[in-house]
């Protein structure tokens, strides 16, 4: 089992300073195909900063890094399959050969002994106009499949208090097998 620290899912407080960008909370459940929560699932995320740059040597570096944002975190689902991450909303960025914009997204990996494999997917955000023009998303033949990759704003869960204000997104992941 991979150890997960108590703040590994809070990407906003991994550094001494505050990261730049819109603060969000992404939360939901990992469910099996019968709708039951899947406990003890390790979820890892990685993403760009609010300018669209990854902390990765392969990133071409057209936009600046944020010294207070690493863009990676992890957590383990609870007994009901629930998870949450506090992070910055990532920015869209230019795709291959600068021919299109990738929509804002978070890369997600799931690991669970019950399914014995690593599942990798991406989480997109409701209302992003680049979803409909992204060739990676559009390679999914079923519109319902695309819809399952889109996190929805939950107005009731948004925090409107001062510097810690966050926009809340709900996103459930369904695994089969």
Q: Which residues pair with 120 in a beta bridge?
A: 109
- Asked whether the CA dihedral 149, 11, 154, 111 is positive or negative, the reply is positive
Radius of gyration of the chain (CA): 16
Q: Which of 54, 83, 124, 169 is catalytic?
A: 54
Q: Which of 23, 83, 93, 169 is catalytic?
A: 93
Known active-site residue 15 = no
Stated length of the chain = 177
Q: Look up residue 133 and give its DSSP letter.
A: G
Backbone angles phi, psi at 156, to 5 degrees: -65, -30
Known active-site residue 176 = no
Q: Which of 23, 29, 53, 102 is catalytic?
A: 102
Within 10 angstroms of residue 146's Cβ, the number of other Cβ atoms is 17
Q: Which of 29, 74, 105, 124 is catalytic?
A: 105
Please give the positions annotated as active site.
54, 93, 102, 105, 107
């Amino acid at each position: 089992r991979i150890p997960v620290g108590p703040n590994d899912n809070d990407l906003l407080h991994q550094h001494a300073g505050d990261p730049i960008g819109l603060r969000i909370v992404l939360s939901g459940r990992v469910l099996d195909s019968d709708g039951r929560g899947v406990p003890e699932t390790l979820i890892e995320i990685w993403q760009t900063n609010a300018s669209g740059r990854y902390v990765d040597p392969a990133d071409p570096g057209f936009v600046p890094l944020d010294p207070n944002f690493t863009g990676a975190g992890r957590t383990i689902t609870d007994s009901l399959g629930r998870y949450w991450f506090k992070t910055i909303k990532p920015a869209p960025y230019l795709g291959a050969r600068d021919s299109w914009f990738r929509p804002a997204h978070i890369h997600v990996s799931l690991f669970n002994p019950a399914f014995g494999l690593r599942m990798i997917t991406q989480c997109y955000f409701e209302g992003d106009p680049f979803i409909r023009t992204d060739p990676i998303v559009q390679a999914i033949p079923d519109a319902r499949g695309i819809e399952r990759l889109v996190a929805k704003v939950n107005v009731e869960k948004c925090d409107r208090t001062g510097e810690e204000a966050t926009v809340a997104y709900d996103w459930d992941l369904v695994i089969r097998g």
